[in-house]
């Protein structure tokens, strides 16, 4: 099987903790061909969508450690047609590039793409969590999204809580997430100006959410595969930051899902699968869904470490990828045989 990872540049990888690297290494260990490209390296040649790829050379023996594998990898550059791959694994960081999706539209019927283009278009920003909340559901914290500063200030003043969370719509890795308090209302006006207004006259959407009690103790990152949880960890904020993201200085702990978290996964799993969002990371606090990460969900290496490698999430993910590709190949072979029967009748 040949797999193309559309992701961030190879030289930006953290060789000890990167989830994409763990997935790539697992593919290499199984003997699959692996190539990588960034979204900016997509191109069209003779009306065929190609990519300027870094192809990983085959190894006689794949090193055990992630760092050793990263250091041993030999890359060669090739321009390759995307329709020639069996699968495309999308791992680029937000924000989502709509032009890049237009390139991939031309091959989506030929190659299994994880996650689906339609699903990423729908769920690539933090508004997607609103799809799981309604008047009869307590699954998400009370949420407001707007560019209207007066409206946001009014919601802060009318909130029953003294604390709220404010964040940009397209942020990731905990960037721009700020805890605000009513006692500091004099600063909120300028803070909203900073978030909403750009120097070129355009404006950005801001998310305002009720603060969930216990958030200062951390959140839970759950990795979902085909609508089911396959790994989880608790992320604990550092001493100088309210954010739990590891990229923001948080630490990780082993975590077993409680009943509320299991029920949450059962409730949102079917929609994730329906939308073609096969591999995602969800962030949960106090049994409430805070975010759904669909572009490059991380956490595999940290989950493996806190479970002392008794859990290897990357194996489950590539098992699933192989099964989906096999299903597609078998369906194609069946259609080919049936068409031949009709042609020869």
Q: CA-to-CA distance for 259 and 234, rounded, in angstroms?
A: 15
Q: CA-to-CA distance for 149 and 193, rounded, in angstroms?
A: 8
Q: CA-to-CA distance for 293 and 171, rounded, in angstroms?
A: 11
Owner of token pair 């216990």: 214
For residue 260, what are its two tokens?
């509320």
What pLDDT score does 282 carry? 96
Of residues 89, 109, 106, the one with CA closest to residue 33: 89
What pLDDT score does 6 carry? 98
pLDDT tens series, the chain, 345 aa: 999 999 999 999 999 999 999 999 999 999 999 999 999 999 999 999 999 999 999 999 999 999 999 999 999 999 999 999 999 999 999 888 999 999 999 999 999 999 999 999 999 877 788 777 665 457 888 888 899 999 999 999 888 888 899 988 766 666 788 888 887 777 888 888 888 988 788 888 888 988 888 888 899 999 999 999 999 999 998 766 555 556 556 789 999 999 999 999 999 999 999 999 999 999 999 999 988 999 999 999 999 999 987 889 999 999 999 999 999 999 889 989 999 999 998
Q: CA-to-CA distance for 83 and 113, rounded, in angstroms?
A: 11
Domains of the chain (ranges; CATH) run 2-114+316-326 (3.40.50.20), 142-210 (3.30.1490.20), 215-311 (3.30.470.20)
| Cα-to-chain-centroid distance, residue 300 | 12
For residue 54, what are its two tokens?
């870094």
Q: CA-to-CA distance for 318 and 30, rounded, in angstroms?
A: 9
What pLDDT score does 54 carry? 98
Q: CA-to-CA distance for 14 and 70, rounded, in angstroms?
A: 9
């Amino acid at each position: 099987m040949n797999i193309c990872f559309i992701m961030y540049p190879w030289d930006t990888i953290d060789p000890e903790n990167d989830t994409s690297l763990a997935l790539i290494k697992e593919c290499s260990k199984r003997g699959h061909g692996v190539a990588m490209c960034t979204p900016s390296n997509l191109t069209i040649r003779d009306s065929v969508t190609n990519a300027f790829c870094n192809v990983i050379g085959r190894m006689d023996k794949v090193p055990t450690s992630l760092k050793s594998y990263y250091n041993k990898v030999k890359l060669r550059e090739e321009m390759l047609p995307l329709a020639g791959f069996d699968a495309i694994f999308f791992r680029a960081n937000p924000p989502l590039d709509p032009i890049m999706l237009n390139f991939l539209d031309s091959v989506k019927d030929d190659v299994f793409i994880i996650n689906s283009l339609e699903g990423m278009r729908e769920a690539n920003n933090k508004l997607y969590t609103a799809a799981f909340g309604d008047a009869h559901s307590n699954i998400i914290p009370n949420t407001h999204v707007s560019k209207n500063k007066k409206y946001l200030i009014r919601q802060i003043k009318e909130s029953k809580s003294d604390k709220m969370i404010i964040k940009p719509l397209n942020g990731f890795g905990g960037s721009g997430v700020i805890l605000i308090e009513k006692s500091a209302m004099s600063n909120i006006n300028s803070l909203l100006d900073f978030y909403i207004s750009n120097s070129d006259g355009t404006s950005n959407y801001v998310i305002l959410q009720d603060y969930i009690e216990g958030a200062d103790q951390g959140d839970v990152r759950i990795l979902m595969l085909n609508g089911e949880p396959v790994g989880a960890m608790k992320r604990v904020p550092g001493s100088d930051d309210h954010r739990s993201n590891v990229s923001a200085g948080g630490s990780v702990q082993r975590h077993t899902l409680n009943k509320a978290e299991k029920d949450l996964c059962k409730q949102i799993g079917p929609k994730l699968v329906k939308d073609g969002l096969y591999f995602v990371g969800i962030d949960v606090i106090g049994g409430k869904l805070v975010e759904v990460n669909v572009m490059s969900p991380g956490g595999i290496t940290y989950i493996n470490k806190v479970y002392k490698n008794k859990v290897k999430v990357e194996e489950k993910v590539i098992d699933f990828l192989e099964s989906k590709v096999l299903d597609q190949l078998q369906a194609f072979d069946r259609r080919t045989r049936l068409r031949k029967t009709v042609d020869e009748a």
